[in-house]
Structure formats: C-alpha cells, structure tokens
Amino acid sequence: MADGEATEDGMTADELARAVADVMWSQDNASRHLGMVLDEVAAGYARMSMPIVDFMTNSHGSCHGGYIFTLADSAFAFACNSTNQHTVAQHCSVTFLSPVKPGECLTAEAREINQIGRSGIYDIRVTRAGGEVVAEFRGHSRAVKGTHLPA
C-alpha cells in the first residue's frame, strides 16, 4: 500500500505504521530500558536513537557491539512491523565500522529494501552525531500469525 492510499479503516500506510508503533513501543521494555527513543516511523521505515552510557562499554572503553546491534535490531522491528502484521527477524548481519565512546548518541535508520509475501529485507544504517556511519546492519524478516492492532 502506498502512503496516500487508505487502509480498510481509513488510515494511510504511515498512519497505520504510527498506530502499530505506539502499541509496540508500550510493550518494548528492552528498548525503553536502554534509553532508546523512537524518533520517526512510517510505512517500511523507522528511525531510533540511543545515548551511549558507561554501562554499555567493553574492555576497550568503547560501546559493546551488542548494544549497537540492539539499536539497529529495534529500528528493524519497527520498520518491518509497520503494516500491522506480526513480523520477526529471520536472519540479521552487522558490520561494525568505527568504535563508539560513552557520551555519544547513535541513530539507527531502517528502510525496507524489498518485501515479497512473508519475507522482507531491510537495511539499517547506524550513525553518530554528524552522520558518520558506525555500523551497517541487514535484516531479513518473516511475517508470522497475528496483528498488533485488532482487525
């Protein structure tokens, strides 16, 4: 569905994505606990940010890659669930490009690349303030039974 087209209940694709995101966010304890913010959501798209704090550092004094992966994975989740179909990660890969220090704020921007049937591919770029890319993440999604909003 293109953004200008209305769903059966009269919402545009972007309005549906926002309504789904509101439900998901209220139940996403992990993302909220880590201080993530859902900055923007639209059909097949999400942008999230997260401040890097001391407890996220590894023995090198930089942000543990697992936290960077988690930020990208959360943005991926909001992007691939934007159609109101329960959708889960089927496969993910990440390439870390630059270390991140405590005090920085990262942004993950997820975009749908392709969605055919129950499978989708999403690219998530993680950047620091100023736009420098620190990680590239690719997620493969799989739609499963259920919806976030009532039918």
Number of structural domains in the chain: 1
Residue type, 145: K
pTM over 0.85: yes
48-92: pLDDT as tens digits: 999 999 999 999 999 999 999 999 999 999 999 999 999 999 999
Structural domain harbouring 74: 13-147
130 inside domain: yes
Please report, for the domain that includes residue 32, its CATH number: 3.10.129.10
Q: Which residues contact 33 (CB under 8 A, 6 or more apart)?
A: none
4 inside domain: no
Q: What's the pLDDT score for residue 4? A: 58
73 inside domain: yes
Cα–Cα distance measured from residue 107 to residue 85, given in angstroms and rounded to the nearest whole number: 25
26 inside domain: yes
Which residues in the chain show pLDDT less than 70? 1-9
Q: What's the pLDDT score for residue 6? A: 60
Structure tokens at 62: 């930089």
Q: What's the pLDDT score for residue 10? A: 86
